[in-house]
Structure 1
């Protein structure tokens, strides 16, 4: 019986009375907030104390004060109620829901998606499109994401997925960095410039580096120069624009900069990444308004990266 009591949850009304009295420091104030009598608040708290087998409050000159067990229990109660309130807000989003949430890694979100996504927004003004950038994996059970632009798909065996495109890298730099007119007469001249490096940690094995590019170009006279290293592609691109060195830039992420002349391509030799970008989503998302249209639009947008 004692074990069963500890596994059985108290009444929600008991916990609410306790939390309110703890926040206000007064059972009378708690009664006003809950629209019940102070005697009812006192009874609710007494029932909770009997259920837990501990004293939660002691009387003071100004009202009531939490005991040490009461302070401990309040922390858990407040976290539980906050989660319930968040769940209530989340459910409200589904009442006549006309929103879609698209999550992407930081660099694809800012460099590939954002310059183009306004076109879709203008075509579908009735949909509230939310864009989220993240460096973490997405849990569709706890995150309000509808679509996730992911590098690889191995972490999502149970979700629907579409391979969008496989990116490639080419050497680029700011036109202000060059010491000779384009095109460079000899690709070995690149070795005279600082090299910007991108360190993706465990995922770095999927991104070609300078050693691989020079080997593919047949340049083996000496190793690449050291230079600044970044763990985010967007920061590396900004460094190249600022003239800090030569970068192996992902084509999908530097398209705008090449068109605007902020960066120039130094060679047509491109090395593909060894993993593709995917669109990941739960099957249920396709029942939401305009979800199919957004999926089709993203697939069409990805076609430009396959040329």
Structure 2
């Protein structure tokens, strides 16, 4: 790859665009003689004459015009790309990627607290279950369920993943045992279909899953709503159902929580420009989770 010295190249682009040494010097905040020297350096490197010196100024030669037409758009693209990166961190928008269950059940009820503290900061939320890739994601940070290892990223545990069966009050009568669970419909979330087998193994009830009637939903939120409506028994995520437990809409009949070994992590790019707004938002999230 053959690239000329970039400072003389930028000076050439400005002179070619303004067609005036004085205007170019003013835009670049240097002297007119410094502009002339940089143009001369580029001409010597290329081995061609880019400008014809005239009594009242300069004009592009034919080869200079051809070069300027191709160089100009490249500098415009560099400028646009730089503006995109710098404005991303200088405006008052925080771009958060997470997923629907955490957004609806944990984050949204708490966001008014953040807005009260930082009224000028807007939180823009993108919900996605796709693998996290900051190379293509247009976000500042993400909250992701996992074991804590993401390439080229820093991860901080926000909420430990703790699960156990939940159902409407009275759905399971008497002592909650494997026999009490038999014949009950199991409500299964599509994206957390392994929760039931893992919890049943944890509780020593492995055989129950194979014989049970199951109803599959597209999200955990729907399984919990179905459980509240008496359709069956679901697996609840402890941190997502505090209000339902407190209001008595759902109960935990077995009282045998399982720590899955995963958690909801705040994930940021490893090479991220410092931003006060993002640092404040991360600290706020950790306080809300009781981890600060």
Which band: TM-score by shorter chain? 0.5 to 0.7
Distance 1:159 1:255, change over 3 A: same
Distance 1:152 1:125 in 2: 31
Distance 1:269 1:164 in 2: 22
Alignment of 1:215-230 (within 5 A): 215-219=201-205, 223=209, 225-230=212-217
Distance 1:97 1:262, change over 3 A: same
Distance 2:268 2:208 in 1: 46
Task: Please give the secondary structure, in 2, of the residue aligned with 1:129.
Answer: strand
Please state how far the C-alpha of 1:212 moved relative to its aligned partner.
3.9
Tell me the equivalent position of 1:178.
Answer: 171
Match of 2:183 among 169, 176, 192: 192
Distance 2:115 2:289 in 1: 17
Note the residue ranges of structure 1 that are not aligned, 5 or more in a row.
Answer: 1-82
Please state how far the C-alpha of 1:144 moved relative to its aligned partner.
2.4
Match of 2:223 among 230, 236, 239: 236
Please state how far the C-alpha of 1:89 moved relative to its aligned partner.
9.2
Please state how far the C-alpha of 1:110 moved relative to its aligned partner.
1.3
Q: Is 1:213 matched up with 2:206?
A: no
- Per-residue deviation, residues 248-303 of structure 1 (Å, max 9, x unmatched): 11112222221222211212101122322211112454622322111112223333
Distance 1:275 1:173, change over 3 A: same
Distance 1:216 1:118, change over 3 A: same
Distance 1:292 1:137 in 2: 24
Task: Please give the secondary structure, in 2, of the residue aligned with 1:131.
Answer: strand
Tell me the equivalent position of 2:24.
Answer: none
Structure with the greater alpha carbon radius of gyration: 2
TM-score, normalised to structure 1, is 0.60
Distance 1:302 1:186, change over 3 A: closer
Match of 1:142 among 119, 132, 136: 136
Q: Is 1:270 matched up with 2:261?
A: no
Say which is worse superposed, 215-224 or 147-156, in terms of deviation. 215-224
Note the residue ranges of structure 2 that are not aligned, 5 or more in a row.
Answer: 1-76
Give the length in aligned residue pairs.
213
